[in-house]
Chain A
Amino acid sequence: MQQIFNFVIRNKTFLLFLLLFSIALALTIQSHSYHRSKFINSANGLTGGVYGTFNSIDQYFNLKDENTMLSEENKRLREQLFNSVNTSDSTYIDSSYSIGKFRVTTADVFKNSYSLTNNYLTLNKGRNDSIKEDFGVITSKGIIGIIDNTSSNYATALSILNKNSQINAKLKSSNHIGSLTWNGESPEFTQLVDVSTFAPVKVGDTIVTGGQSAIFPKGIGIGTIDSFETDISGDTYNIEVKLFNDMTNVGTVYIIENLDRTEIKALENRVNE
């Protein structure tokens, strides 16, 4: 017993180092799997407050870009409105029809990273604004990521530039689906894998969200096909997708909640059982 105590006292620095290093290592390993640590993330009052203070200064420098983006979106929405074929001249009497399937919230990006292998965004909306895990995050141009952790006033989102990210996507021209992943290299490109070789893939075609996962509505833009190659197995294509969004410059985002999500999840769980 005496010897054990002596050993501990003699090597206390090394043992403390070992302890702290193992804690850090455990947290690191946890962060490399999808369901990450709930303790260490930037969705909390301290980091949110600090980022918020400096974000308000930063916002002034991006006002011009933000304005251009908004007027572009307005233009597109107006075009859709004026050209819409469906001129409805009657309304539903039953009010339950008029409730949409998706609820949209706007949020400011407090922190955005794109140079790491696992990137996250910090947003200024949280549980108090009914934001929960697994809501989709988009801009007017295309998708950004999925909400990962929330605190009462802040949320972190798993960026599509994250090795753990896997998003259901499809070709706009057909219904062939694949999953969107990232290889950790360029913030301008992501990779669409597991697309069947029957799919009519052409360079320049548009990739949109598939709407299979109950996170994103169907048909939100992701990017265009930059190049593609057949997988080693020969059954699937690996497609290099050039993103619509400039992931290095994201100011304001929309958070999408699928109101039918709990119902879909419950149904899927029952199938799995």
Chain B
Amino acid sequence: MNNIAARNIIRFITLLLVQVIICNNINFLGYINPYIYIIFIFLFPIRENRLVFLLVSFLLGMLIDMFSDSGGVHAAAAVSLAYARPILLKTSFGMLYEHQSIKFSNTEIGSLITYISFGTVLHHFILFSLEIFNISNILSILQKTLFSSIFTIILSILIIILFSRNQK
């Protein structure tokens, strides 16, 4: 139990630092940045209390906002993703989730990709809608969502696979 808590704290801090120091400065093609800190929300222990989960996600988003001076956009997107996670888990893992027996390190890669993809697109859409905050720029919102999502999904899946194999 303690081990899991420690691992999550380390993951929280590492992802926060990697996000604000490296990923926020990539600016691929001028504006495309991956937002890999949501891996923390994807991998948060499922059996943990949902209230704690929401609060921790909010804190993570708020810290990212503080570092990047973006008001509350990351906090809003992170909290929405955290709230929607059970639905995402149910649609992508089906029965496994019902039995509360998902282990991210040894699930089917297909289900994992579905789970990460839906979550990332949801998160990025809320993030960019709030950041641009202008319905007449809907094309710009969709464009940013699409390109950043592709970047985030690829990076997230690579990171999850890379690190989960080590822990076996």
Complex Cα gap A187–B29 (Å): 12
Complex A-B: 7 CB contacts under 8 Å? A17-B80, A24-B76, A54-B21, A111-B67, A111-B69, A113-B24, A184-B140
Chain A nearest CB, measured from B52 CB (Å): 10
* Least distance between A260 CB and chain B CB atoms (Å): 30
Nearest Cβ distance between residue A181 and chain B, in whole angstroms?
14
Contact B66 A41 (CB under 8 A): yes
Residues of A within 8 A of B (CB): 12-14, 16-17, 20-21, 23-32, 36-37, 40-42, 44, 46-47, 50-51, 54, 111, 113-118, 120, 122, 156, 184, 186-187, 248
Nearest CB in chain A to that of B26: its residue: A115
| Cβ 8 A contact of B131, one of A13, A14, A116 | A116
> Using Cβ atoms and an 8 Å threshold, which residues of chain A touch B164?
none
Encoded as 1 (CB less than 8 Å from any A CB) or 0, chain B from 127 to 167 comes to 00011110001001000000000000000000000000000
Indicate if the CB atoms of A12 and B51 lie closer than 8 Å. Answer: yes
CB-based contact A13/B65 at 8 Å: no
Interface of B is mostly: helix
B30 adjacent to chain A (CB < 8 Å): yes
Contacts of B72 in A (CB 8 A): 23-28, 31, 40
Rounded to whole Å, the gap between the CB of B135 and the closest CB of chain A is 13
B79–A21 touching, CB < 8 Å:
yes
- Residues of chain B within 8 A (CB-CB) of A29 are 71
Given the complex of chains A and B, what is the CA–CA distance between A26 and B55 in angstroms? 17
Q: Which residue of A is nearest B22, CB measured?
A: A54
* B106 / chain A contacts, CB cutoff of 8 Å: none
Selected from A26, A27, A50, A115, the residue in CB contact (under 8 A) with B67 is A50
Q: B33 — which chain A residues lie within 8 A by C-beta?
A: 115
Task: For residue A76, give the distance in angstroms from its CB to the closest CB of chain B.
Answer: 30
Is the interface on chain B under 10, 10 to 19, 20 to 34, or 35 or more residues?
A: 35 or more
Q: Does B68 contact A (CB under 8 A)?
A: yes
Say yes or no: A113 contacts B68, CB within 8 Å: yes
Contact A31 B70 (CB under 8 A): yes
Q: Which single residue of chain B is at the shortest CB-CB distance from A186?
A: B30
**In the complex, what's the smallest C-beta–C-beta distance from A68 to chain B, in angstroms?**
22
Distance to closest chain A CB from B87 (angstroms):
12
B90 within 8 A of A: no
B-chain residues with CB within 8 Å of residue A42 when the two chains form the complex: 66-69
Does B122 touch A at the CB level, under 8 Å?
no
Contacts of A17 in B (CB 8 A): 54, 79-80, 82-83
How many whole Å from A21's CB to the nearest CB in chain B? 5
**In the complex, chain B residues whose CB is within 8 Å of the CB of A12:** 51
A28–B130 touching, CB < 8 Å: yes
Chain A residues contacting B24 (CB-CB under 8 Å) are 113
A113 to B54: give the CA distance in the assembly, Å.
Answer: 28
Query: Does the CB pair A25–B70 fall under 8 Å?
Result: no
Whether B79 and A20, one on each chain, are in contact in the complex, defined by CB atoms closer than 8 angstroms, is yes
Closest to A26 in B: B72
A40 and B79 contact, CB distance less than 8 A: no
Say if the beta carbon of B34 comes within 8 Å of chain A.
no
A32 to B21, CA, bound (A): 24
Residue of A nearest to B133 (CB): A32
Chain B 53-79, CB within 8 Å of chain A: the 1/0 string? 011001001100111111111011001
Given contacts A40-B62, A42-B67, A115-B27, contact A28 B133 (CB under 8 A): yes
